[in-house]
Amino acid sequence: MFSAFLALIGLSLFHSVSSEFSPGFPYGSQMVRGVNLGGWLVLEPWITPSIFDNTGNPNIVDEWTFGQYYDRATATTVLQNHWDTWITQDDFANIAAAGLNHVRLPIGYWAFEVGSGEPYIQGQLPYLQNAVQWASQYGLKLIIDLHGAPGSQNGYDNSGHRISYPTWQSNQTNIARTDAIIEQIASMFADQVDVVPIIAPLNEPAGYYGSSVLTPLRQYYYDSYGNIRYPYGTSTQSNTVVLLHDAFQPLSYWSGFETPPDFQGVAMDTHIYQVFSNSDVQMSWQSHIDTACDTQSTLSDFDLWLMVGEWSPAITDCATYLNGRGNGARYDGSYPGSTYVGSCTGLTGSASTFSSSYKTFLRQFWEAQVISYEKSNGWLMWTWKTENADEWSYLAGLQNGWIPWSPTDLEYPTICG
């Protein structure tokens, strides 16, 4: 455990080696521009709805129930085919060709270890190794992001297990299992920082539940620092950056947390969406742009490296299953407790149904966010590709003109004034 380790070696060690930290990318002086490989090694119903629809079972809503309720042999075949085809070497080539320099790869704990009674299907690790190889081949930096932890850290389907209340934080065994997996990931890639410069130890923990989550989470973040920065079992440090999600807290909450000189190579990840509340989806197009521009002052002044690790040009929650399989959308009033704003027709699905004015807006909104998020140390858009929600897809944006083939090729450079 890191706390015991700290006591053992003394804080002076951090001071004495601080100048030696040398990450695999010049964070702070060069901009992170990247994309997420969503829905590949962790299934998400809205990214690949066909995988869930083809089960014929409405109770299959996440990767847990996919393994639990679907015929095991069939489920394994479907997953294997998905892993083989959803993201390939060509995608890495295209990401590099689009002028991006980082890729964030979500992966679940079950790729490394499955406990008794957990229905997950394994087999993801060879694809993680493929991703590292392809990133190296095309000069991309790969962020390995633990997207799902035992017990679920947020209850979202994208944690692997959709449940009403997260249980990761309430069980020390869950946390210890997560620590062990981070140790394993850190050890696997400690000597490949030129390709895997960052490990993110936990995606989107539900800090909005307050101290019941935040207290164990803060300790877990200390432990993760020890596990990621000291992967050799000795006092030798790695050069791997530790990327901490803000747990949906304002950045001010984390002020002074794991900062130099006592800590080196820590970065903060914040996710910015404008679709997951009634007030968000009721905004005008111009208000969406203004809201993005208004993030600049907060993002420009933080005491760690900071990146916007997820964001999107989407302005509605209309994408099928975005709020979970079986749940509707706030925008068209089909989600519980929402009020009709408008029809989803022409705002999600295939870009062939998008009006020219909507595509122009998507370009403006994309640029407003890029300009604003570059007040931090960079950004990674969610997500590279989708089956049928082109407003969320970087690839569809490139193909249909609302995302430029070079992320610095802006048509609206003064959109934020």
Q: Which residues are catalytic?
A: 204, 310
Number of H helices, E strands in the chain: 14, 8
Contact between 331 and 317 under an 8 Å Cβ cutoff? The reply is yes
d(CA 1, CA 8): 11
In whole angstroms, what separates CA 270 from the centre of its chain? 9
Q: In sequence order, which residues have a C-beta less than 8 Å from that of residue 245 and are 6 or more positions away?
A: 200, 202, 203, 204, 205, 268, 269, 270, 271, 309
State the Cα angle at 82 between 57 and 158, rounded to 5°: 65
Q: Kindly report the backbone phi and psi dihedral angles of residue 200, in degrees, each rounded to the nearest multiple of 5, phi listed first.
A: -105, 110
Burial of 339: CB neighbours in 10 Å, binned 0-12, 13-18, 19+: exposed
> Radius of gyration over alpha carbons of the chain, in Å?
21
H or E element in which residue 267 lies: strand 266-272
d(CA 92, CA 96): 6
CB atoms within 10 A of CB 138: 17
Cα–Cα distances (Å) from 36 to 170, 209, 264, 308, 416, in that order, read 29, 26, 25, 11, 25
Mode of pairing for the β-strands spanning 32-36 and 305-311: unpaired
Q: Report the residue count for the chain.
A: 417
Closest of 334, 315, 325, 414 to residue 368, by C-alpha: 414
Q: Kindly report the backbone phi and psi dihedral angles of residue 63, in degrees, each rounded to the nearest multiple of 5, phi listed first.
A: -70, -30
Q: Is 155 left (phi over 0), alpha (psi -120 to 50) or beta?
A: left
Closest of 282, 308, 290 to residue 374, by C-alpha: 308
